[in-house]
Structure 1
Amino acid sequence: MEMTPVNTVNLCGVLSESQRILKSNYWHFFALALFFLPLSISIVFTPTVNPHLSGHFTTDLSHKLPTNYQNIIIVQLLYIIIVYLLALCAIGTISYSTYNVLIGKPVNYFAALKSLIFNFFPLVSTAIVAQILLFLISLAFLLSVGAIVMLGKSLGFVYDFNWTSFMWVSIALGAMLIGILIYFQMNWCLALTVVVAESKWGFAALRRSWCLVKGMRSVSLSLLLYYLIGNGLLAWVSSKPVYDHHNSVFITMLGSFFLMMCLLASTVANAVLYMHCKSFHGEFALEVAEGFDYINLPVDDEKVIHVVTVVEA
C-alpha cells in the first residue's frame, strides 16, 4: 500500500473547514471561548485605543501619582498577566478540542479543561520564549539601525533630521520591523498547537512549527494577515463610539463579543492548518505505517475531510 498526502489547501479551504468544526460543536467552543472575553474587552476598552478613555485615565493618574502610583502599576500588571494567562487557557483548550475533532474523537468540555493540567505551563513557557525572542529581534534591529547611523556619521555623512524626513524614515523603518516580526510570527503560528498536540514546548515547539510551515508559508501568512487585519479593524470600530451617545456602551460590548468569536475562529483555524501541514509533509502516512489508526474519518458536509488518502499500489 502506498500512502499519499492530500493536496495543499489554500486560505479558503482552512477557513471553510474551521467553520464546519465550529458549527458542528458550537456551544462547546463557545464555552471555551469565554476565556478570551477578558482579552477582547481589554482590547476594545484599552486607553491606547480609545482617546476618550485615555484622557480620563491620564488625568486620574496625574492626580493620584504622588500617593498610589505604584499600586496602580502593580494592579495593571496583575490584570495584564491574568488576561494573558486566560487567553493562553483559551488557546490550549480550543486547540485540544479542535485536534480531537480532526482525529475523530468526541469533544468534552471537562476533558478540555483537564488538558490544561498538562499543557498550561508548557503553553506559558512557549509563549514567554516566543515573546522574548521577538523582543530581542526588535532590539537587534533598532541597535543595527543606530549602529548604521553612527557609522555614517563617522564616515562624514550629514543627516538632515527635519520633521518630514524623520517621519518618512521612521515609517519605513517601522514597516521593515513589522515585516520582520510578521515573518517570524508566520513561522511560529503553529507553536502553541504543537504544545497541545505533540507535548513539545519552548524552543522545540518553535522549531517544530517552523518545520511544519515549510511549503505552506503562503497559507500561514494569509491566515495570519486575515485575522490580524480583521481583529484590528473590529477592535478599532468597536472602540470608536463617543461616550455621550446612549448606545455607545452596548455597541462596544457587542464589539467585544464579536472580537472574542474572531479569536476563537483564528485558534481553530490554526489547529486546522497544523493538520494540513502534517499531511503536506506526509507525516500521517508514516504514522499509519507505524500502526496509528485514526485516519478513517467519515467524509460528509458535517465532518472534517480525510487528512490522508490511502491508495492501493
Structure 2
Amino acid sequence: MSKPSPSPPPSNFDLQAIRSECIRIIKADSRHFQIIIFLFLLPISLPLVFFQVFPIKTLISNLLYTLTIPILSLLGTGSTAYSVSHGFHGRQVKLSSSMKAAFTSFFPLLSTWLVTQLIISGIGLILGLAFFSLFKATQVLVFQVDYSSAYFILLCLAYIISLVFIVVYLQVNWIFAYAIVVVESSWGLEPLKRSQALVKGIKGVAFKVVLFLGFFCWLGIWSSMLRFVEPAGDAWKIGASFIQIVTVPAASYYPLFMFYNLVVNTVLYMNSKAVHGEFAGEHVSLLSDDDGEVAHVVSIV
C-alpha cells in the first residue's frame, strides 16, 4: 500500500504566518533564547548607549567599541540561527550545542559579512565616482558650479537615494545569507548566491522584513556612528541632540530588534527551503496560507 502524498508547501505565506511560526518556536524554548539574548545580544546595547551618553574618544575605547559590537553580533547570529533552525523542526537544542554553533560559525559568518561589505563598498565607490565625474563634466562642458551649489547638493541626494535602493535590493536578495552560513556550513560568496536563489518567489515578504525589522536594526547601528561626528555650529548641535534623543532608545532596543530579525529571517529561510521542496524525508513544520496559523506536515517522503 503506497503512502499518501503530503500536502504541497504553501507558496503565499505572509508576515502574519511568519510571526505565528516565530512565536511558536520562541515559546517552545523561551528560556534557551533568553540566555542567548543575555549572553550575546544584550551586551551589545551597553557600549551603544554608554558611548552615546559618555563619548570617550581614545584609541583604546574606539578599538573596544569597534570590535565588541561585530563580535557579539556574529556570535549571537550563529547561536540564534542554529537554535531557530532546530526549533523549526520541533527539536530541542542544548545550550552547549548552541554555544558551540556560535563559535564554530563565527569565522564563516565573518567571511560572508566581509564579502557583503566589500561588494557594497565597491558599488558605493563606483557610483560615487560616476556622480563625481558627472559633476566635473558639467563644470567643464556646461557651466561652472561649486560644491555649495544646488546642483551639487542634488547630485549628492541622487547618489544617496541610488545607493539606498541598491543596498535594499541586495539586502532582500541576501536575506538568508547568515542563516545559510550556520545551517548549511557554507561561507564567503556562496551563501549570497544561495540566498538569491531561495528568495525567488517571496521577495515581497523579504522586502517587508528588510523594510520594518531591518530599519530598526540600522537605526541602532546608525546611532552608534554619531559618536564619531564632531558637531559644528549651533544648528548642527541642535540637530545632533535631537537625533540622539531618537536613536539612543533605538540603541537600547537594538538587541531585541536584532534577535527578532534573526528569528524571522531564519524561519523565512526554512520555509523557503520547504517551498522549494528541499525537505524530502524530513519532519518539517510549514506555514499555513489560509488563516496565518502554523500547519505541521510530518514525514515528507
- TM-score under structure 1 normalisation? 0.75
Range 189-198 or range 72-81, more displaced: 72-81
Q: Is the 8 A contact 1:279 1:308 kept in 2?
A: no
CA distance in 2, matches of 1:121, 1:87: 12
Q: Distance in 2 between matches of 1:150 and 1:2?
A: 65
Asked if residue 118 in structure 1 is aligned to residue 104 in structure 2, the reply is: yes
Contact 1:92 1:196 in 2 (8 A): yes
| 1:276–1:307 Cα contact (<8 Å) kept | no
Of the three residues 37, 41, 51, the one matched with 1:36 is 41
How far did residue 233 of structure 1 move?
6.2
Is this contact kept in 2: 1:212–1:281, CA < 8 A? yes
Instruction: Give distance in 1, aligned partners of 2:29 and 2:220.
Output: 24
With 96-105 and 36-45 compared, the bigger mean Cα shift is at: 36-45
Q: Using the alignment, how far apart are the partners of 1:293 and 1:217 within structure 2?
A: 26
Matches within 5 A, 1:43-54: 43-47=48-52, 53=54
CA–CA distance in 1 between the matches of 2:177 and 2:50? 29
Q: CA deviation at 1:259?
A: 2.9
Check if 1:157 corresponds to 2:142.
Answer: yes
Partner Cα separation in structure 2 for residue 148 and residue 165 of structure 1: 11
Task: Report 1:265-304 matches (<5 A).
Answer: 265-284=260-279, 288=280, 292-295=281-284
Measured at CA, do residues 233 and 143 of structure 1 come closer, stay the same or move farther in structure 2, by a change above 3 Å? closer
> 2:144 and 2:199 mapped to 1: Cα distance?
42
Q: How has the CA–CA distance of structure 1 residues 305 and 107 changed in structure 2, closer, same or farther, with 3 Å as cutoff? A: farther
Q: CA RMSD in A?
A: 3.4
Q: In structure 1, how many angstroms separate the alpha carbons of the residues matched to 2:134 and 2:103?
A: 48
Superposed CA offset, 1:189-217 (max 9, x none): 21110011111111011111111111111
CA contact (8 A) 1:101 1:107 kept: yes
Is the 1:6–1:307 contact (alpha carbons within 8 Å) kept by the matching residues of 2?
Answer: no
Aligned to 2:255: 260
- The structure showing larger relative contact order (alpha-carbon pairs under 8 Å, at least 6 residues apart) is 1
2:19 counterpart residue number: 15
Q: Quote how far apart the aligned CAs of 1:183 are.
A: 1.1
Residue aligning to 1:199: 185
Is 1:95 matched with 2:73?
Answer: no
Verify: 1:306 aligned to 2:296, yes or no: yes
- Once the two structures are TM-superposed, the CA of residue 83 in structure 1 deviates from its matched residue by 2.0
Native 8 Å contact 1:8 1:276 kept in 2:
no
Match of 1:105 in 2: 91
The CA distance in 2 between the partners of 1:175 and 1:198, in whole Å, is: 35
